[in-house]
Amino acid sequence: MLKEEGFTNTQSYPDRETTVHQLLDGKVQLLASSNTEIPAALKKIGSSMDDVKNAFTMSTDLVYIAFSKGTSPELVARWQDTLDEMKRDGTFAKIYATWLPAEIPPGIFQLVTEEYPPVTFMRDGKPSGFVTDMVREIAARQGIPDNIRLTSWKNAYNMALLHPKVVLFSAERTPERESLFQWVGPVGKNSAILYAKKGSGIRINSLEEAKAIAAIATTTNWFTEQHLKREGFKNLFSSPDPRSNVRQLMNGEVQLAASLKVGMRTLYRKLKSAA
């Protein structure tokens, strides 16, 4: 996954225990692993989850029971109905908690979003934000368990394209997306803005003028990026995390950043406080 994203700073090791040692000994700064395998690897070398922290969730992937081609659709449907019934009566959650007590089990519906305050963000270890609270309330009124997960927008978007019964929020309704999803809303409104660094002297009077800018930061699969691509822009630098766009703009790596009016100020404040 990292290689596909163009990473060139990875170090590969022959086994998981060696990799964990490299992290704990300070020889590497990050360790790419899954939430299910890292606890066992830490336990094997005499450590625990208290010795590490989640720095960033690269992706959330759903695991299935796969039937071979040619299996009766009626049989597959019976298995699916039985699994859904186990999720409704609590049996599934009980089995899941036996093996993965720290994890939220996947429900019949998967509720996914990204980190973009104040719309969606983590607060006190729990997804929060004004659209998050709306989705949580709607789900509660329908008896749907609160299994909201935060991941990158690219990952959340691809989950909604690939898997059934995925609730993706909050998403702008655009021509490119109209036939890809089914829609409930609106739950808010937003303005897409091209931001320049204060003091840069950049003046843009039209989108056509922006095409002459050397580099514009965009967020992968955001409607802002899709809109600029539709308008024929070739100078876009795409990143999966909107915080990267702000960082690139402040560092002078790009001259403009395509972002949303809601949340831009919060992203900038968080970036400055982390510096």
Does residue 140 sit in the same domain as residue 82?
A: yes
As given in the structure block, the two tokens for residue 88 are: 């409704």
Q: Determine the Cα–Cα distance for residues 64 and 146; give it in Å rounded to an integer.
A: 21
Q: Count the domains in the chain.
A: 3
Q: What are residue 153's phi and psi, to 5 degrees?
A: -60, -40
Does residue 47 sit in the same domain as residue 130?
A: no
pLDDT for the residue numbered 259: 87
pLDDT for the residue numbered 72: 97
Chunked mean pLDDT (size 10), the chain, 275 residues: 88 92 95 87 91 84 94 97 95 93 88 88 88 95 90 91 94 91 91 90 93 94 91 93 88 92 70 60
pTM assigned to the model: 0.70
As given in the structure block, the two tokens for residue 172 are: 């702008």
* SS3 assignment, position 268: helix
pLDDT for the residue numbered 273: 60
Does residue 109 sit in the same domain as residue 136?
A: yes
Task: Specify if 105 maps to a domain.
Answer: yes
Does residue 214 sit in the same domain as residue 163?
A: no
Does residue 89 sit in the same domain as residue 153?
A: yes
Does residue 151 sit in the same domain as residue 235?
A: no
Write down the number of H helices and E strands in the chain. Answer: 10, 9
Q: Determine the Cα–Cα distance for residues 36 and 102; give it in Å rounded to an integer.
A: 10
* SS3 assignment, position 112: strand
Task: Specify if 269 maps to a domain.
Answer: yes
pLDDT for the residue numbered 261: 76
> Distances from the Cα of 25 to the Cαs of 7, 14, 28, 39, in angstroms?
22, 17, 8, 17
pLDDT for the residue numbered 201: 92
CB neighbourhood size of 189 (10 A): 8
pLDDT for the residue numbered 37: 84
Task: Specify if 29 maps to a domain.
Answer: yes
Does residue 49 sit in the same domain as residue 99?
A: no
Does residue 128 sit in the same domain as residue 197?
A: no
What CATH number should be reported for the domain holding residue 204? 3.40.190.10
- Going by the DSSP 8-state scheme, the letter that residue 238 receives in this structure is E
Query: Containing domain of residue 19, as a range?
Result: 1-55
DSSP notation for 207-239:
HHHHTTSS-EEEETT-HHHHHHHHTT---EEEE
Does residue 157 sit in the same domain as residue 81?
A: yes
